[in-house]
Amino acid sequence: MNKDSPAIAMDNTANFDRIWSILKKEYPDPQPELDYSNEFELLIATILSAQCTDVQVNKVTNELFRKYTNVEALAAADLDVLEKEIYSTGFYRAKSKNIKRTSQLILSDFNGKVPDTMEELTTFPGVARKTANIVLARGFGKVEGIAVDTHVKRVSGKLGLTENTDPKKIEQDLMKLAEQKDWEDLSMTLILHGRRVCDAKKPQCIVCLLSKLCPSSLV
């Protein structure tokens, strides 16, 4: 079984309110762990975060944003050099091309400013709904959906909140369960829970506060 797939197919959505109440108490102020100082840096950091830890992305962007201080600089970046600079984040060839092209499009199509709509953001290469949701919520305060990364996919599946494996369908399932004002916090909370407790390889069910409500619990 794929480690990111739901452990078992069981509808546990009736317990969502109880699950969410417990999670909110456990993670009262869920904050993103990516470092950025503006919407453009947030967009680039989020693109780099695909299949990479936030800790490693922060190490890379700490140097990257010192060298490339604005969108113009990254739009003019040498791809061979950029590949080496972001190598440790994985998928560096695709990411470097996407970052450079996205920077160019921001200059040519959006007057040098990161757009603030889902439709416009998802026109950029390497930017799907997950990345767009993060940029909209954290950069512009617009909560239009739920960012579904590998942690959200895994944890929501194990908790029986969705039986889907496609991120778009998982997002729709979760949006039906939670109030819109909670969408951003729900995503960040599931991410934190996935990192700290519901690990992909060794889930710590014995200490998980959700074990009695989780159909996948090993306790």
Cα(26)–Cα(79) distance, rounded to whole angstroms?
A: 43
What burial letters (b/e) apply to 198-216, b meaning 16+ CB within 10 Å? beeeebebeebebbebbeb
Cα–Cα distance measured from residue 48 to residue 19, given in angstroms and rounded to the nearest whole number? 31
Question: Does 198 belong to an annotated binding site?
Answer: yes
Question: Is 52 annotated as ligand-binding?
Answer: no
Three-class DSSP category at 39 = helix
CA 153 remoteness from chain centre: 10
90 backbone φψ class: left, alpha, beta (φ>0; ψ -120 to 50): left
Active-site choice (54, 95, 100, 149): 149
The catalytic position among 95, 130, 153, 158 is 130
Amino acid at 134: I
Residue where the block lists tokens 């889902």: 118
Identify whether 54 is a catalytic site residue.
Answer: no
Does residue 116 have an active-site annotation?
no
Q: Which residues are annotated as a binding site for [4Fe-4S] cluster?
A: 198, 205, 208, 214
Q: Which residues are annotated as a binding site?
A: 198, 205, 208, 214
Catalytic center residues: 130, 149
